[in-house]
Structure formats: structure tokens, C-alpha cells
Amino acid sequence: MSTPLSADQLLKALRAEGLNVVEYKSWRTNNRDHKGPWGPVNGVMIHHTVTTGVASSVELCYSGHSELPGPLCHGVIDKEGTVHLVGNGRANHAGLGDDDVLAAVIAERALPADNEANTDGNTHFYGFECINLGDGQDPWPAAQLLAIERASAAICRAHDWDERSVIGHLEWQPGKVDPRGFTMNAMRQRIADRLEDEPPTAPAGTGKPAPTYEPFPGASFFKAGRTSPIITAMGKRLVAVGCGRYKVGPGPSWSEADRQSVAAWQRHLGYTGSDADGIPGPASWAALHVPNV
């Protein structure tokens, strides 16, 4: 049983575990605290989104919909393994679940079958929505599973919990099936193995230093006639995060398709109007993590 992490503490814990984290819009103040208590917290709950596409999935989890206001979780984990923070505080993700399951999580012991829906899980659990259709066919890339492992371990480490504090939605609320496509027992074993080690300073198993990224080249760099491998690398990242607007490419020459793709990324980050004009600024460039070329 613990006091919830502050926004700064959560961000620091996730990044210390080696995760690529994007801060989406006003996530630090996006919550449902006016509808009920947030905390004491007892565990982490994993879900799948039943959606495709990074930008639309993140926005849905940030804002919610007419029947269920957002945030719908605290972080969205995409198929590349990036964590998009969308909420800080109480979130509409867990719903009512089994008090016996909560007791087992608190005691860090084996879970009983969930056969009741009598306890508000939104008070007690951090939630991560993972982009997947949940049909048993949509793949779970290795990078995404690693990010689920790392994000769960980061929060467990911060609260001095073990892997039995991490559950799936299907283990909490009768009738739920998420996450579908891997087993929570297997994921808990991965988390347990990770918690035996110190937080990594490099991607697990690579033996290489942590990745570095292209520094912001300045807004004047992005103009007609500019040709550079940096522009190609930027375009590939924009495609990877679901913001590519290319019919052909991306390529090394700055184009209108590049500008439209950057504008889509800026809107994804919550910028509007002239702040989403398609010319990178220091913040939107840093968040994109363009690898060194």
C-alpha cells in the first residue's frame, strides 16, 4: 500500500528503467480525481486497447469517449515500445473488480479466480493500455512486450513491490479478456527477473551504450532545397510513430510531405494552430528521438 507517485516521480522511474517516454498534452493534470480517491495504490494493471494506430489510440486514452471520459489509463504502450503518458491520478481503466484479488495483490501472493465485481480498481491501480486489437491474431512485438515488462518493473521498483503486484484486466474483472495474446504469468516472470537487477543504463542484452539522438538542428534547417540524411531519419521516425504522410519515401530532401508529417506529430503532442505548422521546434524534435545518422 503506497502513496501514488507524483508526475515527476513516475516520469523519472520509467526513464530510469530505459524506456522511451513521450509526455502527451497536459497529462500531468489529466485525471478523474473529482470522481473518487486516487490511492493508496497497490499495483499495476495491463490492458489492450482494441485499436490500431498510435496517434488515435493515444488521443482516445487521453480524452476518452462519450460513455467513458478520459483518461482511460496512465500510459499507452505502442508496438515500438514507446510509453505515451496520458494521465496522472485517478483514471477510468480498471472499473469494478474482485476484492479477493485486491487482497492477494496487497499480500503479494497467488491470485484467486475473479468472480466478483465489488471493488473500485481505479483507486488502487496504475493502468497501461497496450496498442493491440486483442483478437488473438494481432502480434505483440518484442519491443512492446519489453516495454510492458520495463514499465511494470519501474513502478514496482519505485514502490518496493514484487512482480505479483502486476495483474491483467482479465484477472481483476469477470468477463474481461485483456491482455489477450500473452499470459500474465509469463509477463510476471519477466518482471521478477528484471527486478533482481539494477535499473539498466543500456537496452537489455545489447551490451551497448544507451542510444543517442540527433540534436535539434534549428528551425531554419527545415526549408525547401535542404537535403540531408537527418531528414530521412526524421521521416522514418514519423512513419514509425504513426504520423507519416508520405506517398513515396521518406527521402533526404525536405518536402511538403515532411512538413505535413511533422505537423501531424506536433498535433499528436497536443500543439495547435501556429504551434503545429510542420516546422520542428526544440520540444517536438526532442520528443521524436531521431537517431544519429
What are 98-122's pLDDT values in tens digits?
999 999 999 999 999 999 999 999 9
**What cell was used for 148?**
510492458
CATH number for the domain running over 7-195: 3.40.80.10
pTM of the complete model beyond 0.85: no
Domain ranges of the chain: 7-195, 219-288
**What cell was used for 58?**
493515444
The 10 Å CB-count burial string (b at 16+, else e) for 125-152 is: bbbbbbbbebeeeeebeeebbbbbbbbb
- Residue 108: CB atoms within 10 Å: 13
| pLDDT of 180 | 97
**C-beta separation of 250 from 238 below 8 A:** yes
| pLDDT of 199 | 67
| Closest by Cα among 213, 220, 289 to 254 | 220
**C-beta separation of 264 from 53 below 8 A:** no
- Residue 98: CB atoms within 10 Å: 22
Per-residue pLDDT of the chain (293 residues; tens, 9 = 90+): 589 999 999 999 999 998 999 999 999 999 999 999 999 999 999 999 999 999 999 999 999 999 999 999 999 999 989 999 999 999 999 999 999 999 999 999 999 999 999 999 999 999 999 999 999 999 999 989 999 999 999 999 999 999 999 999 999 999 999 999 999 999 999 999 999 987 665 444 444 455 678 989 999 999 999 999 999 999 999 998 889 999 988 999 999 999 999 999 999 888 889 989 999 998 889 888 898 88
